[in-house]
Amino acid sequence: MNNRVTLTRFIIEQQANVPDASGTFTMLLSNIVTACKEIAQKVNRGQLIGVLGSAGSENVQGEVQKKLDIITNDIMVNSLNWTGHLAGMASEENDEFISIPPQYKKGKYLAVFDPLDGSSNIDVNLAVGTIFSILRCREGVEPEEGDFLRKGTEQVCAGFVIYGPSTMMVLTTGNGVNGFTLDQGIGEFILTHPNMRIPEETSEFAINMSNQRFWETPVQRYIDECLQGTEGVRGKDFNMRWVASFVAEAYRILTRGGVFLYPWDNRDPKKPAKLRLLYEANPMAFIIEQAGGLCSTGRERILDIKPSGVHQRVPVILGSKNEVQRIVDYHLQS
């Protein structure tokens, strides 16, 4: 049991190979880990501590906030703002990016996060998560919004924590993807899923079918062909899953392959896509690509998009390589 690799040890050993590493990144990650352990506790205790249900407020996304959307956001912000490692933060739950309070030192990184992903699942006791991404910032300056608007290829690190039957953290620093399980007994994340790889082939898709009538032709075509099963051009039967927690869909795909689509749709011209580029699509795209998968809008690689705002939304198609490539080809042909 003594040779178990904790997340802290893993990061310290990985950073040892990075020239000029000052330890700042290691400490920043450790602060994120602490925040996520605190969130895990809150999520786990649920109604025992009265944290379920709606807060009655609305966020900048136009979504009714759950109490836990606000509580988890406060935990993230208050665990990271004093550390001296960050120049600023941006979150799904804050209209504007978050400055570091003047009494604290400013550092060379930016953190962007979705503090509670899948929050519609919280009251029905299904898996939820936290998604985060770390970017570099110009040092010693008060950041402007433009400092956050970096392509996904520039991420230093991306990760998510899933609060499911086990609490797990999945992490990449651009050198593969590793999964850690929280050992509640000792309060440490332990490396349990080294070098996660996504199978290139799959016969499982995830999409919210209730939006079918609003999709574009290439997505209609792809899903129609999956549904035709052995009788159609694909010549095989497909299975479907939809958890409505991005973290849970991504974790399933990392474990056994699959394809996830939250495509463009024409329901509401003001909101042509649902998922947010900075703190949902980009971190997941980094992780999925590092595990051998692909992530696209259908027309463009997610990681190559130059963001236009911190809350920008994009269509997301990600997962097993050959399947995502097929959907991208259908977009090119349309």
What residues make contact with Mn ion under the rule CB under 5 A?
A: 63, 92, 114, 116-117
What's the min distance (Å) between Cβ of 130 and ligand AHG?
9
Q: Which is nearer to ligand AHG, 150 or 274 (CB)?
A: 274
- Judged by beta carbon distances under 5 to 8 A according to partner kind, the member of ligand AHG, Mn ion, none in contact with residue 159 is none
What's the min distance (Å) between Cβ of 324 and ligand AHG?
16
What's the min distance (Å) between Cβ of 40 and ligand AHG?
17
In the complex, residue closest to Mn ion by CB: 117
Q: Is 156:134 a contact under the CB 8 Å cutoff? A: yes
Q: Which is nearer to ligand AHG, 52 or 190 (CB)?
A: 52
Strands 259-262 and 204-206, sheet pairing: parallel
Q: Which is nearer to ligand AHG, 54 or 208 (CB)?
A: 208
Strands 98-99 and 64-66, sheet pairing: unpaired
What's the min distance (Å) between Cβ of 32 and Mn ion?
16
Q: To the nearest 10°, report the CA torsion of 279, 173, 298, 224.
A: -90
Q: Which is nearer to Mn ion, 245 or 297 (CB)?
A: 245
What's the min distance (Å) between Cβ of 207 and ligand AHG?
9
- Is 120 annotated as contributing to ligand binding? yes
Q: Which is nearer to ligand AHG, 29 or 128 (CB)?
A: 128
- Is 296 annotated as contributing to ligand binding? no
- Is 68 annotated as contributing to ligand binding? no
- Judged by beta carbon distances under 5 to 8 A according to partner kind, the member of ligand AHG, Mn ion, none in contact with residue 274 is ligand AHG
- Is 321 annotated as contributing to ligand binding? no
- Is 69 annotated as contributing to ligand binding? no
d(CA 4, CA 183): 11
In the complex, residue closest to ligand AHG by CB: 246
- Is 182 annotated as contributing to ligand binding? no
d(CA 334, CA 325): 14
Strands 64-66 and 167-172, sheet pairing: unpaired
- Is 329 annotated as contributing to ligand binding? no
- Is 179 annotated as contributing to ligand binding? no
d(CA 160, CA 4): 21
Cα angle at 188 between 184 and 192, to 5 degrees?
A: 90
* Number of continuous H segments (helices) and E segments (strands) in the chain: 8, 15
d(CA 280, CA 290): 16
Q: In what helix (H) or strand (E) does residue 27 lie, and over which residues does it extend?
A: helix 24-45
Q: In what helix (H) or strand (E) does residue 168 lie, and over which residues does it extend?
A: strand 167-172
What's the min distance (Å) between Cβ of 28 and ligand AHG?
22
- Judged by beta carbon distances under 5 to 8 A according to partner kind, the member of ligand AHG, Mn ion, none in contact with residue 31 is none
Rama region for 184: left / alpha / beta (φ>0; ψ in -120 to 50; rest): alpha
What's the min distance (Å) between Cβ of 43 and Mn ion?
13
Q: Which is nearer to ligand AHG, 59 or 155 (CB)?
A: 59
Q: Is 262:243 a contact under the CB 8 Å cutoff? A: no
d(CA 166, CA 333): 42
Cα angle at 318 between 311 and 29, to 5 degrees?
A: 60
Q: Which is nearer to ligand AHG, 128 or 134 (CB)?
A: 128
Q: Is 31:79 a contact under the CB 8 Å cutoff? A: yes
- Is 67 annotated as contributing to ligand binding? no
Binding site for ligand AHG (CB under 6 A): 63, 92, 114, 117-120, 208, 244-246, 262, 274
Residues annotated as binding site for substrate? Answer: 117-120, 208, 274
Residues annotated as binding site? Answer: 92, 114, 116-120, 208, 274, 280
